[in-house]
Amino acid sequence: MLRPFKISEDEKAPEKRLCLKRARRGHGPNEAGVNPLSSPIDCYMACWTWGAYLGADALTKGVDIGVSSWTRIAPNTLPAMSKAAANYMNSQLIRMEASFNGYAEGIALDSGGHVSEGSGMNVFLVNDGVLYTPPLATSILPGITRDSVVKMAEDLKIPVKETVIPREMLYIVDEVFFVGTAVEITPIRSVDHIQVGKGIAGPITRRLQEEFFAITSGTKPDRHNWLTPVNAPVSAASR
């Protein structure tokens, strides 16, 4: 049951600013136990500015990451393809461990020991000019940015393979990078203290970054209709 709702505006939005928009849907009060079926469904949408998720220099200089001791949720435990709040307990463990170990982020393996994803972002590898990314069967979230990167790679004639990736491939490929709403396209310069390629953003990572930011900033046509302008009134005080 969806609870009746109205659109409210708590703050005036600034003009032409890129913001992170998150829609939330969950069960409200009624049932104190674990069966939510009798509880109404609440929805809200939050919008706020968010700086560089992994640090100011992450997009240009890359980040150091480590393979987590926490595996991604196994199939038939929780639905990994769902962007559900419960799944983020697993993500928090991965991220906290990475922080304790001095890394900017962690990469989790799936229950079979194959590369899955970061705590809240998908991962791509580049080797010999080919782009690789783990498939849905490795307990990943099918991210919107992941899909966008695949489409951009196809537009740029970069071969893409969705395939199971063994852990050791992280240490021998030419490039590795994260993609996601918050991280955008962030190069990875080392994995478990092992340098990736030349230790800087590789040519394919940079090419995809340039294309991504050109489209999202409006300097290139939005040929895939990814962008949705939100026209909100701006108060005189905020101008």
> What type of residue is 74?
A
Q: Return the active site residues.
A: 83
For residue 175, what are its two tokens? 């490039």
* Cα(25)–Cα(3) distance, integer angstroms: 11
CA end-to-end span of the chain: 41
92 contacts: CB under 8 Å, gap ≥ 6: 119
> In the chain, where does DSSP find H-type helix?
58-61, 88-100, 144-155, 169-172, 203-217
- Rounded distance between C-alpha atoms, residue 123 and residue 173, angstroms: 13
How many whole angstroms separate alpha carbon 145 and alpha carbon 157? 18
Dihedral sign from CA coordinates of 19, 24, 28, 32:
negative
CA distance 137 to 78: 13
- Tell whether the torsion through CA atoms of 7, 11, 13 and 17 is positive or negative: negative
